[in-house]
Amino acid sequence: MFVNMKDVKSDDVLIADNGFTCVKPGPVKICEDEHGLFFSCECGKHYIDGQLDFDGSDQLVGLSRL
């Protein structure tokens, strides 16, 4: 089940699927800085607003709840 951006906050743990090239599938801890919500990855920080679905919804693609 995918998650909506508005329901995510810092310290949440989400599950990344196998569609990411910068992080292995599994749990990722959400953090926040002045640029927004992100999780740590091989490239540094992966901001989750980049996972918003192209259909204009608030749904994050590739991330789900535990």
Tens of pLDDT along the chain (66 residues) come to 779 999 999 999 999 999 999 999 999 999 999 999 999 999 999 999 999 988 778 999 999 998
Domain ranges of the chain: 2-65
Q: Is the pTM value of this prediction over 0.85?
A: yes
Answer whether 13's CB lies under 8 Å from 25's CB: no
Strand partners, 6: none
Which tokens belong to 37? 């919500």
For position 56, what pLDDT does the model report?
75
